[in-house]
Homo-oligomer: A and B are copies of this chain.
Amino acid sequence: MFKNLGYTFEPTYKEKLWMYDPRTEVGKKRMKKQKELLERFLPIKSGKALDIGCGMGISTFALENLGFEVIGIDVQGELVEKARGIAKELGFKAEFRVMDAKKLDFPDESFDLVALLGNPLPHLSVYDFDEIVQEVFRVLKPNGAIFVDYADWVRLLHDGYKHVLVEDPFISFHVSLNTMKGQVERFFINLEKGYFFRVKINVWAPWIVEFILRKAGFEVETHYLGTFSVVGVGRKSSGV
């Protein structure tokens, strides 16, 4: 009866494209939220920005709306294609490229801002994020900033995110915690569309994010929003 989409993020985002499309109601809401976060916590107001994990452009267009000249990158080629089409359709100037954030194809000191928006950390292990952060440090100009929004998963575990959550039209269940890998496994059912899948979520918390940013050379400020939403801002000091 229900379609099994499997175990990873990859097969599932295709079924949830409306969430990542800047033209849908959900997409517009996400863009508005991201723009508000950036306005509230960004230490930089203009210049060249790199949007890592741009998807279909929600975060990229939020940055462009704020006045940045933006390049969006993503490893998913088909999302980058879609983002290009949507940019043309909506009149955005942002440029999009397929690129692995662990090997940024840009010279040193190319950007004023690098953003990872929309909580991409569940997709990244500490090793992945560490490599990305080192690359980001390299491509940032002196006084440049990295901006990350993410969920505090250690807090969520502590507060009891082991129970069934009803988030219409989804129901989700905690399956397991693997502290060797730093991952939570969770089971989602979409009752309206009739599919289910398992997701492995990398567990993050502010002290771990801060450690990796500081280790790469950033000065860090963390802003805690409500119960588990966090914004981390790292500055590449001009003295480096």
Q: Please list the residues of chain A having a beta carbon within 8 angstroms of any beta carbon in chain B.
A: 125-127, 130, 152, 154-155, 157-158, 162, 177, 179-182, 203, 205-208, 210-211, 214-215, 222, 224
Contacts and interface: CB of A to CB of B under 8 A. Distances in A.
26 contacts: A126-B207, A126-B208, A126-B211, A127-B211, A127-B214, A130-B211, A130-B215, A152-B179, A154-B154, A154-B177, A154-B179, A155-B177, A155-B179, A157-B157, A157-B158, A158-B158, A158-B162, A158-B177, A158-B179, A179-B205, A180-B206, A180-B207, A181-B207, A182-B207, A182-B208, A215-B215
Nearest to A180: B206
A33 B127 CA distance: 33
Nearest to A184: B158
A224 B179 CA distance: 10
A181 B130 CA distance: 19
Contacts of A181: 207
- What 8 A-B pairs have minimum CB-CB distances, sorted nearest first? A182-B207, A179-B205, A126-B211, A180-B206, A157-B158, A158-B177, A155-B179, A154-B179
Copies of this chain per assembly? 2
Nearest to A222: B180
Nearest to A182: B207
Nearest to A177: B158
A111 to B, nearest CB: 25
A214 B212 CA distance: 13
Contacts of A222: 180
A198 B24 CA distance: 51
A100 to B, nearest CB: 20
Contact of A182 (B157, B182, B205, B214): B205
Contacts of A162: 158
A138 to B, nearest CB: 17
A211 B203 CA distance: 14
Contacts of A180: 206-207, 210, 222, 224
A215 B210 CA distance: 16
